Structure 1
Amino acid sequence: MPQANNQKGSLLFVSIDFPPARTSGIYRPVFFTRYLIEAGWKVTLLTGASHLSTVMDESLYREIHPELEIVRASAPMPRAITGKVYEKYRKATESGGAAARPPLKVRLFVGLKKYLLSPVFRVVDNFLLIPDNYIIWAIKNLWKSYRIIRSHNVTHLLVTSPPQSVQIMGLVLSYLTGVRYITDFRNSWTDNQPYRYRIREKIEKSLERRVLKRSKAVINMSSGDVDRLLARMPDFPREKLHVVTNGYNEWDFADCPETAIKPDGPLTMLYVGTMYTHSGDSTAEALKLLAGDGFTAADFQLTVIGFADRSFEKLVEEYGVGDMVVNRGFMNHDDLMKEYSRYDVMYLLTGGTAYYHRGALPGKIFEYMRLGRPILHVGIEGTTHDMLKPCGLEIFAPLDNPAEIAARMTVLLKQKRASMLAAAPNRAYIEAYEWRRLAQTAEGIISGVK
C-alpha cells in the first residue's frame, strides 16, 4: 500500500457513518480518507462510537488505511430508546408465530412506547432536535473536535452529511478555529424534505444557508443536487460547487468471477438494499401480472439481499407470487461481491420515497455498472436514469407502470432463453467512477481550498 508523506496538511474528517456500521454513508469517508493519506495528507477521522444502524459488517475494516487515526465519540441517542423497545416487541412476536401473544413485560414496554415515549419524542424531534437526532452528538463532541484541531494543527475540516447536525458542528468550529471548512452533502439538506411544521422548515433553511455561505467548497453527490441548490439560491457562487459521486472499488471485483448467462433456468434478478412497500409494490404487481400470464418461479426469480419490508412480503404472498421472491437477508460486503455474478440481471428501484427523488443517486448503481450485467431500472426519470443511460446497461421501466415492468421482464426472459441476454458496457465511461479516481478529484478540490 502506498505510504503517506504527510506534506500537504492536516485534515479532520467528521462522519457519523463509518465501519463497522453498514450504511450507505460509510464509503465516502473510507475511500476519501484512504486516498487523501496516500496523496500526502495527515488525516484524523471523528466518528460515532455507536450507530442507530443495527447492521454491522466487520469485513469493511480491510478498506481502511492503516495510517488513519480514528476517534470514536459517543452521545446519548433518544431515537435508539424507542428503537430498542420496538425491536423487543418484534422479536417476541416473530419467535412465537403469528398467533403468539408477547409476554407481559414486552406488552408493558410497547404501552410505554405508544403512550409515553412516542408522543414525547415526536415533540422533541420536531421542535428541539433540529436539524436531527445527532445534534446531541454534535454539541457533546464539539469540545473534543476543537481539541483535535488544536492538538493536530488541523488546516482543513471536511464534514460529510447526513446527518446534517454535523454541519452545525463544522460551522461552529470554522468560527472558533478559522479552519478551512469544506462540506460534503451525500444528500441535499432541505430539498424534498416532508416538513410538517413551517417554523422547522424556516429554521433548517436558515441553518443551511449559513453553512453553505461559510463553506470554502461544497461537494455534492450529483449534478441534480447542484441544479436544485442553484434554483433556490441563484446568487450562490457557482465556483464553490463541485460534484463527486459515489463509486466502486476495483479490487472488490477480484473475487467476483465473470460467468456466462445460461439460457436454462429462471431469469434471476438481484436487488440489493431495502425493498420498501411504497417503491416495491409495483414490482409485486408486475410479478402478479406475470403469474396471471402463466409464468412461475421456474421463469422468474427476484432475490433480495438486504431487507424486504414486511408489508412487501405480505403483498407478494397476497398476490400468490411469494415463490418468485427470495429474501436472503443481510450479507457482508465480501460475500456480496462473490454473489453478484450468479445473477442474470441487476434490479434497481428509484422513486416512491422522498429520499429517492429525481436527483437521488443510489450508491449501489456503481457496482451494478462495474459488474457489466443488464440493469433493469424500475423508477423515475432523473439523475439516476441520466447517469445509467451512457453505460450501455440500462433497461428502463416506469415505477408507476406494472404492466411495462412485466413486459420488460418478459423480453429479458426471451433473450435469456435465446442466449441473447448480453450487455455491451461502456467501460471507459464506467471506469470514471472507480473510487481511486473519484477520491483524487476530491483531493484536488480540498487542496485547492486556501
Structure 2
Amino acid sequence: MKKVLVISYYWPPSGGPGVQRVLKFCKYLPEFGWEPIVLTVKNGEFPYRDESLLVDAESIKVYYAKAIAPYGLFKVFSRSERIPTHLLSPQENERIINRIARWVRYNMVVPDGRIGWYPGAVKLGLHILESENIDLIFSSGPPHTAHLIARKLSENSGLKWTADFRDPWTDRFYYVESPRCRLTKWLDGTLEKKILSKADRITVVSPGFCDQLNNHVPIKDKSDILFNGFDEEDFRDRSFHRRDNGKIVISHIGSLSKSQNPILLFQAIQSYYKKFSENRFRLRFIGSVHPAIKDTINEFKLNSMVEFINYLPHAEAIKHMMESDALLIVVPDLPGSEGIIPGKLYEYLRSGSHIILIGNDNCNAADIVTNFGGFCINQNQTDFKIERITSIRTNQNTSQLNQYSRRSQSERLSEIFSNCVDE
C-alpha cells in the first residue's frame, strides 16, 4: 500500500465543515490502496469542537506540529473563547476593537491566521517524510498555509504534490465584505500564483471555484473537480421523527454570514401570516448566525417562529436534517460566489428532506439542487410565495446520489493520486 502525507490544519476534535472532507478521505482511502499519514496542528484554534468525530480518526496515524497562534490575538481583542465564522463579517454598531482586530486579521496576517503553524509543520513534515517512506503529499485548504507547508516539503523531497481547494484563495467572499489593502492583496495573490503553478495536481470542490483559480494561473490541464459528499455510515440506522405539532419545520445547519441573510424567506413567511393569520412555519437555525440576520427577524416580527440552536455534534446535526421538512441553503449574492456549494448540501440530499436554495440561477449549487428536484429562489425574485414550498419534492435517485458518497469521492481521489505519482 502506498502512503500519502495529508496536511490539514483541521482534524478532530475540530468540528465544523472544514474537517469533514479530509477526515472522510482518510477514512476511505485505505480501501483503494493509499494509507494516509496526517500532519495537523497541536492544540489548534478551532471555531468548533466535535469530539464525536474522533471515532472516524481512530485507526489513522497522526502527527501534531506546534503552532504560534496569531489568530489567538483576534480572540483576545474580541474577548471570546471561540470565534464564530460570522465575526469575520462586519456588523452594525460593533465595538471598535472588533473592527481593528478584523482589519489586522485580513491585512497583517498573510495568507491567513494559521501562518504560525508553518515553521513547526515544515520541521515535523521533513521528519515524517524520512521516517514513513511517503509516496505523495496532499494538502487541503483553507487555511492555505497548508499549501505553503506542502510546497516546501515537496521542494525539499522531490515528491509529487496534490493541492486541494475547499474554497478559493484571494477570491473568498469574506474579502468582498471586508476589503483588504493593495499591498496585502498583492502579496497574497503572489503566494496564490506560486502554489497554483508549483502543485503537480489540483483538486477543487466546484467548477466555479476551478474557473476562479484558473483566472489567476492556467490550471485546467492539471485540475480535477472533486465534490464534497455524504458518508452513508452517518445516516445508517438513524431513527428520527418529525414533531412540532404539524408545523412545517425549515432548518439551516451551519454558519450564516451577513451576506447570507435569507430576507426573501422571511418576507414570504410574513406575507403568509398576514394573509391567513396562521403560524404554520417553524424556522430553526443551528450554528452561528450573524447579528444582522437576527435583526431582520426582529424587523419582520418572526421571533415566535424562530429557534436558535448553538453548534451541535455532527451526528445530532444529521438527526435535525432528517427531522426537518425542508432544509435551507443561502448562497451569497456577491462577486465570485457562483462556485459555492456548501458541503452540507450533499448531506441535505441524503437526508431525504426537501431543499430550499436562495441564490443566483447560475450558481453551481443551484444546478445540483435543481437536478434533484429541490426549490431554487433567485435573490432578485420579488413574488415568492411560501405556499409553494409545501409542494416541493426532493428526488432521492440512488444511482445519482451515490456519485456524491464519501467513498466514491475517495476512490476518485485515489485514482488522482496514482496518476500523479506515475506522471
1:214 alignment partner AA:
K
Secondary structure (helix, strand or coil) at the match of 2:251 reads strand
- Whether 1:63 aligns to 2:44 is no
Paired residue for 2:34, among 35, 38, 41?
A: 41
Bigger shift: residues 267-276 or 155-164: 267-276
- The alpha-carbon deviation at position 142 of structure 1 amounts to 1.4
> CA, structure 1 residues 202+271, in 2 after alignment: closer, same or farther (shift >3 Å)?
same
Q: Which has the higher contact order (CA 8 A, sep 6+)?
A: 2
> CA, structure 1 residues 343+120, in 2 after alignment: closer, same or farther (shift >3 Å)?
closer
Match of 2:85 in 1: none
What is the correspondence of 1:369-448 to structure 2 with a 5 Å cutoff? 369-381=349-361, 382-392=363-373, 394-401=374-381, 403-404=383-384, 407=385, 409-413=386-390, 415=391, 422-448=393-419
Secondary structure (helix, strand or coil) at the match of 1:182 reads strand
- The alpha-carbon deviation at position 284 of structure 1 amounts to 3.1
1:83 alignment partner AA:
K
Give the paired residue count. Answer: 405
Structure 1 residue runs without a partner (length 5+): 1-6, 91-109, 416-420
Match of 2:345 in 1: 365
Residues in 1 aligned to 2:127 and 2:237: alpha-carbon distance in whole angstroms: 42
The answer (yes or no) to whether the contact 1:45–1:69 under 8 Å persists in 2 is yes
Give the fraction of aligned pairs with identical amino acids, expressed as a percent. 22
Paired residue for 2:270, among 259, 278, 288?
A: 288
Residues in 1 aligned to 2:354 and 2:74: alpha-carbon distance in whole angstroms: 41
1:399 alignment partner AA:
Q
The answer (yes or no) to whether the contact 1:291–1:321 under 8 Å persists in 2 is no
Match of 1:103 in 2: none
1:71 alignment partner AA:
Y
Secondary structure (helix, strand or coil) at the match of 1:275 reads coil
Bigger shift: residues 306-315 or 147-156: 306-315
C-alpha offsets along residues 364-411 of structure 1, whole Å, 9 cap, x if unaligned? 10011112222111122211011222222x11112344642xx0x212
- Whether 1:75 aligns to 2:67 is yes
The answer (yes or no) to whether the contact 2:70–2:114 under 8 Å persists in 1 is no
What is the correspondence of 1:61-210 to structure 2 with a 5 Å cutoff? 61-64=54-57, 66=59, 68-87=60-79, 114=97, 119=100, 122-123=103-104, 125-127=106-108, 129-192=109-172, 193-194=175-176, 195-210=179-194
Residues in 1 aligned to 2:213 and 2:293: alpha-carbon distance in whole angstroms: 34
Secondary structure (helix, strand or coil) at the match of 2:9 reads coil
Secondary structure (helix, strand or coil) at the match of 1:330 reads coil
The answer (yes or no) to whether the contact 2:15–2:48 under 8 Å persists in 1 is yes
Match of 2:21 in 1: 28
Structure 2 residue runs without a partner (length 5+): 83-93
- Whether 1:254 aligns to 2:236 is yes
The answer (yes or no) to whether the contact 1:279–1:399 under 8 Å persists in 2 is no
Match of 2:86 in 1: none
2:200 alignment partner AA:
K
2:411 alignment partner AA:
Q
Paired residue for 1:221, among 205, 213, 216?
A: 205
Match of 1:244 in 2: 226
Normalised by the length of structure 2, the TM-score is 0.87
The answer (yes or no) to whether the contact 2:75–2:81 under 8 Å persists in 1 is no
- Whether 1:325 aligns to 2:296 is no
2:285 alignment partner AA:
V
C-alpha offsets along residues 59-85 of structure 1, whole Å, 9 cap, x if unaligned? 11112251x111122212122233145
C-alpha offsets along residues 15-52 of structure 1, whole Å, 9 cap, x if unaligned? 00111111211112111112222333332101122333
Runs of 4+ in 1 over 4 A off after TM superposition: 117-121, 261-264
Residues in 2 aligned to 1:237 and 1:37: alpha-carbon distance in whole angstroms: 28
- The alpha-carbon deviation at position 118 of structure 1 amounts to 6.8
Residues in 2 aligned to 1:184 and 1:326: alpha-carbon distance in whole angstroms: 36
Residues in 2 aligned to 1:181 and 1:425: alpha-carbon distance in whole angstroms: 36
Tell me the C-alpha RMSD between the 2 structures. 2.8
> CA, structure 1 residues 50+399, in 2 after alignment: closer, same or farther (shift >3 Å)?
farther
The answer (yes or no) to whether the contact 1:222–1:243 under 8 Å persists in 2 is yes
Match of 1:12 in 2: 5
1:30 alignment partner AA:
L
